[in-house]
């Protein structure tokens, strides 16, 4: 099993409506992408200087399943929100 963790630091002008559409899309992915075992996500609550704004944690059966996820029809539309509205996106993939 592989855990895929992604952190987002959003730009100030990421609108509430676009953020809501992005989160709605995240919710649609859980249970609907082959090889994606579990998807959890949420906003940071502590808001420290070192904090990022949002985290996604996804568990996959294999590294190959992450590639399926990366190009899946449910994931692709979310990129139009996350990339242009983020100052920084970092990720790590590690075995469980």
The pLDDT of residue 95: 98
- Classify the C-alpha dihedral 70-71-72-76 as positive or negative: positive
Query: CA–CA separation, 24 vs 96, rounded Å?
Result: 27
Average pLDDT score over residue span 61-90: 97
Inter-residue contact 9 to 53 (CB < 8 Å): yes
Q: What is the pLDDT of residue 61?
A: 96
- Structurally, the chain folds into a number of domains equal to 1
Which residue(s) pair with 47 in the sheet? none
Domain that holds residue 79: 2-95
Other C-beta atoms lying within 10 Å of the C-beta of residue 81: 20
pLDDT digits over 75-88, tens only?
999 999 999 999 99
Per-residue pLDDT tens digits for 16-45: 999 999 999 999 999 999 999 999 999 999
* CATH classification of the domain holding 29: 3.30.70.100
């Amino acid at each position: 099993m592989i855990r895929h963790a992604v952190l987002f630091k959003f730009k100030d002008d990421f609108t509430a409506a676009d953020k809501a559409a992005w989160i709605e899309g995240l919710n649609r992915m859980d249970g609907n992408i082959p090889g994606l075992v579990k998807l959890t996500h949420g906003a940071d609550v502590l808001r420290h200087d070192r904090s990022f704004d949002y985290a996604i944690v996804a568990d996959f059966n294999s590294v190959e399943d992450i590639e399926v996820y990366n190009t899946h029809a449910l994931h692709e539309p979310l990129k139009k929100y996350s990339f242009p509205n983020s100052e920084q996106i970092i990720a790590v993939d590690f075995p469980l």
